Amino acid sequence: MDMSNKVNMLNKEYSMSIHKIGAYRYASIQVPSIDKNTGCRTSSHVHWGTVDENNVFIPNSRFILAPPEELKNFVFPENWNLDKVKEIFSTMKGKENIVFKRVPVKERTREKEVVTYDA
């Protein structure tokens, strides 16, 4: 992946969310970029692990090997269990004391808009 047109990840917070593909639930962020040919804004999902049905985050190698400066920019939903990350990082020098930002989970309710037509 050409990272030259990607936003610098060290200067911005990224909210983790679930990206569903079939039966799989990936922990991902959306990284904005600009298409060099068209000049249009686009975004792509970057997967950092999986999230099981109990909201346990299981990091992938990209997450585990990321530098601490980058990891501090991730914001996780409050209801995700990060015990696996803490377990893995407890044995890694420089990552044993990383504190992740947490945000409350917003209820995603869609209100139906009723349109009536007068005859």
Q: Write the pLDDT tens digit of every residue in 11-52.
A: 678 899 999 999 999 999 998 888 889 989 988 899 999 999
Q: What are the structural domain ranges in the chain? A: 9-103
CA dihedral over 65, 68, 8, 59, signed as positive or negative: positive
Q: Identify the three-state secondary structure at position 34.
A: strand
Contact (Cβ atoms closer than 8 angstroms) between residue 78 and residue 105: yes
Q: How far is CA 22 from CA 25, 61, 117, in A?
A: 8, 22, 39
pTM: 0.73
Q: Identify the three-state secondary structure at position 9.
A: helix
Q: Write the pLDDT tens digit of every residue in 59-68.
A: 999 999 999 8
